[in-house]
Amino acid sequence: MPLHRFLRYVAPNLVTALGMCFGLMSLVACYEHRFVDAAWLTIWAVLTDRLDGLVARSLRATSDFGVQMDSFADALNFGIAPAFLIYVTLEDATPVGFADGTGRAVLMAACGLWALANVFRLAKFNVVAEQPDAPKVFFGVPTTLAAGTLAMWYLVLAKYAGPDSPIRFEAFGGPKLLGDWTVSPAVWSYVPAVMIAGAFLMASNLPIPKLQALPSRALTYVLIGAVLSGYVCGMMRTLPEYMCLLPSGWLVFSLAWSQLSERARGMSPPPILPDPGPLRRRTP
């Protein structure tokens, strides 16, 4: 293979590898109880995940290898890393009730379901994407959207943790758009339930519209501006309360659209398992 062609195909995979490094660094930060760093590293992995596809399309360097590598990276960055972050955070916070006994079993089940649903969602996406007649929507909440939203809200809870918080976080810089508002310690007890709901939404067949399918040019420009500002805030590690607005709003809109739209209710994904063919008659 000519060198220039090799480098063209390597470029998007290097971006994917960088995202995997962020996922691995997030695991290390969790282990060292640097929870804020771990959540920001997950968000950096989300931002990087959006770039590898852009680089591949810009260089016309899409490949089956890149698709598979991206899936493995997503399983680490958006399945294992967020689940490990939540597990270590709540298991370490004894007053919340997840350190031992039934509470710990519930926490382990929630984190395990999140990771398993993430892998299932990625495998289903790879199968459905290969079908030529598949509708131009996502079936189930994308792993990037689910993990990014979870990490952003985690940072909001960490940033506005009060003096009675059961979890101690590192110093959180930047302005506070919500002023002196503080998070009730009881909020952390609902996080496993949120993860279970998120796992269900990832594994579901609910149709989720794609962002690039907006009908209005003005809305498209607004979206581009919001995404770019989110990239700036993410790279600067500031204003998670602003960053969470776009993914949370899109998630709520998508769930409402999937239930209220007659067109959405009529959509169904292609089968993910092979057709066994006609049943054979058993001969005596």
Which of 86-90, 165-169, 238-242 is predicted least confidently?
A: 165-169
Residue 279 has pLDDT above 60, yes or no: no
pLDDT band at 1 (very low <50, low <70, confident <90, very high): low
Give per-residue pLDDT as tens, 149-180.
999 999 999 999 988 999 989 888 789 999 99
Nearest to 22 by CA among 39, 42, 36, 37: 42
DSSP calls for 135-185: -SEEES--HHHHHHHHHHHHHHHHHTB-TT-SS------S--TTTT--B-G
pLDDT band at 148 (very low <50, low <70, confident <90, very high): very high
Of 33 and 280, the one with more pLDDT: 33
Of 60 and 122, the one with more pLDDT: 122
Domain chopping of the chain, boundaries: 8-265
Residues of the chain above pLDDT 70, percent:
90
Query: What phi and psi, each to the nearest 5 degrees, are found at residue 187?
Result: -60, -35
d(CA 146, CA 107): 18
Nearest to 82 by CA among 194, 235, 249: 194
**Which structure tokens are listed for 109?**
């089940």
Nearest to 92 by CA among 121, 133, 84, 21: 84
Give per-residue pLDDT as tens, 110-130.
999 999 999 999 998 888 776
Give per-residue pLDDT as tens, 176-214.
999 999 999 999 999 999 999 999 999 999 998 887 656
pLDDT, residue 268, reads: 80
Superfamily of domain 8-265: CDP-alcohol phosphotransferase transmembrane (TM) domain (1.20.120.1760)
pLDDT, residue 214, reads: 62
d(CA 147, CA 239): 17
pLDDT, residue 190, reads: 96
Predicted TM-score of the model (pTM): 0.92
Nearest to 43 by CA among 146, 112, 120, 140: 146
pLDDT, residue 35, reads: 96
Of 151 and 5, the one with more pLDDT: 151
